Structure 1
Amino acid sequence: MQEQVHDRGQEQDRERRGLLRIGLAEVHNPSMVPTLSPGDQLVMRYGAVVRAGDVVVMRHPFRQDLLIVKRAVERREGGWWVLGDNPYVENDSREFGMVPDDLVVARVWLRLRPPPWAGGGQLSVVGALSWVPSAVRLVSAGRWSRGAGGAAGAGRSAFRRLRAR
């Protein structure tokens, strides 16, 4: 996921002025499937408190000009252990280790799924009606827990578990 972000000096200036610090980003890679898919738009809050289970946007530890989206799994000494929800993609803490707090840019709040006809597909009433309930969904879940299954279990979002009930 790539996005141009204001430098920290501008962010601190906006914070001092009390402006609402909301941003948008687009998902480009499948590391957060099934929670997020390529093409999804993310509404995120800069400077929000991060808790275990939250989906966050952060600077890649090795390429800080690249923004990535991951799930903050566990707070450890030195930063956050982050994982993607897709167990088959290992571009996360298993590859690059702990992510320092100063690389965490924002906490994701909402996912906006693009309509199926936006990519050139045909518009139909049935398609539109089936898209509407899943178009906007809260992403971060404060009550998320690792659960069974190691990294694969850690990658499951609370919303995936709720839909399964």
Structure 2
Amino acid sequence: MPVRRVVVRGPSMAPTLADGDTVLAVRKSPKPGDVVLVTWASRPGQLSVKRAKEEQATGWHVEGDFPDASTDSRDLGPAQVHAVIRWRLWPRPGRL
């Protein structure tokens, strides 16, 4: 799907996004600083919302905005980015 609605779970992206926020993910190439929808090879089927930091040969280094509450590339290694999150739909609609 080129566009996907996603509900954020957990506090790892606070203060940018909160648990329960609904966002719109768009399939496009990420750049450093983008909020992205990712998966890890070690956690098949689990989608996560993180911030793209750096593209690497084997994927992207991504981190949560609230590091103390985030499991991310620091723990799981490079991630595969599936989409870039551009908009929060609910509860405070607006561009990220």
Q: After TM superposition, list the pairs within 5 Å mapping 1:69-148 onto structure 2.
A: 69-99=49-79, 103-114=80-91, 135-139=92-96
Larger RCO (CA under 8 A, 6+ residues apart): 2
Q: Secondary structure at the match of 2:45?
A: coil
Q: How far does the alpha carbon of each residue in 1:34-76 deviate from its partner, in whole angstroms, 9 at most, with x for none? A: 0000110011112x01100011101233111110010000112
- Normalization by structure 1: what TM-score? 0.55
Q: Secondary structure at the match of 2:23?
A: strand
Amino acid in structure 2 at the alignment position of 1:113 = W
- Normalization by structure 2: what TM-score? 0.90
| Cα distance in 2 between the residues matched to 1:80 and 1:89 | 19
User: In structure 2, which of residues 29, 49, 52 is the aligned counterpart of residue 49 of structure 1?
Assistant: 29
Q: Secondary structure at the match of 1:68?
A: strand
Question: Which has the higher Rg, Structure 1 or Structure 2?
Answer: 1
1:29 is the counterpart of 2:10: yes
Q: Which runs of 4+ in 1 moved over 2 A?
A: none
| Cα distance in 2 between the residues matched to 1:75 and 1:61 | 16
Report the CA distance between 1:77 and its aligned residue.
2.1
**What root-mean-square deviation, in Å, do the aligned CA atoms of Structure 1 and Structure 2 show?**
1.3
Q: How far does the alpha carbon of each residue in 1:136-164 deviate from its partner, in whole angstroms, 9 at most, with x for none? A: 2222xxxxxxxxxxxxxxxxxxxxxxxxx
Identity of aligned residues (%): 36
Pick the structure with more strand per residue: 2
| Structure 1: segments with no counterpart, 5+ residues | 1-10, 12-20, 115-134, 140-165
Pick the structure with more helix per residue: 1
| Cα distance in 2 between the residues matched to 1:57 and 1:83 | 11
Amino acid in structure 2 at the alignment position of 1:40 = D
Amino acid in structure 1 at the alignment position of 2:86 = W
Q: How far does the alpha carbon of each residue in 1:116-139 deviate from its partner, in whole angstroms, 9 at most, with x for none? A: xxxxxxxxxxxxxxxxxxx12222
Farther-moved stretch of structure 1 (86-95 vs 27-36): 86-95
Report the CA distance between 1:112 and its aligned residue.
2.4
Amino acid in structure 2 at the alignment position of 1:25 = V
Report the CA distance between 1:84 and its aligned residue.
0.2
- The alignment covers a number of residue pairs equal to 96
| Structure 2: segments with no counterpart, 5+ residues | none
